[in-house]
Amino acid sequence: MEMEMEMEMEMEMDGRPRTQSAVAQRLVLTARLRPGTRERALELAGSIPAQLGTSGFERLGVYLSEREVVFLIEAREAELLLREILDDPVRATEISPWLPLFDGPLHRAEEVYYWSAVPADTGCSSRHGVRGIARTVRRQLIRADASLLHR
């Protein structure tokens, strides 16, 4: 079964994919499930390795309803990471067991609203919480103080 994917990627002027700064990029993929495949989807979700950090993921979530599956991918360059997985014959096997469960193409869901208590420009993800933000602010204040001393 060939997998179709609807994805648009912003490109730099020289044709390279545009990447975000140190803030993780979120990518949400959805697919309808064939009737009667939810149990198999639960099995597949349960067999995902616990430690995905070495594969480029910062977070990976799988959400299931009776008729749909949603994949939430967070990584520094989530779209590029997904393309690398799909283009690599070895890594593509990570998603191949899911393909027979899909009733139609896997497609990207556009983020139209997102709220977080952690400001995006701090470079801290929510797992770092307040301590991470405090460290970032402290470093910025130290740099600001140092630049004032050198004037």
Q: Which amino acid is at 68?
A: E
- First-to-last alpha carbon distance for the chain, in angstroms, is 65
Sorted by where each begins, the domain ranges of the chain are 5-109, 120-149
Q: Does domain 5-109 have CATH number 3.30.70.100?
A: yes
Distance of CA 45 to the CA centre of its chain: 16
Task: Copy the structure tokens of residue 116.
Answer: 């977080």
**Residue among 107, 96, 14, 18 nearest 69 (CA):** 107
Q: What string of H, E and C letters represents the secondary structure of the chain?
A: CCCCEECCCCECCCCCECCCCCCCEEEEEEEEECCCCHHHHHHHHHCCCCCCHHHCCCEEEEEECCCEEEEEEEECCHHHHHHHHHHCCCHHHHCHHHHHHECCCEEEECCCCCCCCCCHHHCCCCCCHHHHHHHHHHHHHHHHHHHHHCC
How far is it, in rounded angstroms, from Cα 142 to Cα 60? Answer: 35
How far is it, in rounded angstroms, from Cα 71 to Cα 34? Answer: 16
**Residue among 19, 121, 126, 16 nearest 79 (CA):** 19
Q: What is the pLDDT along the chain (151 residues), one digit of tens a residue?
A: 444 444 444 444 445 444 444 578 899 999 999 999 999 999 999 998 776 766 788 888 999 999 999 999 898 888 888 888 889 888 888 889 999 999 999 999 988 888 888 765 544 444 444 455 555 566 556 655 554 554 4
Q: Is the pTM value of this prediction over 0.85?
A: no
pLDDT at 116: 81
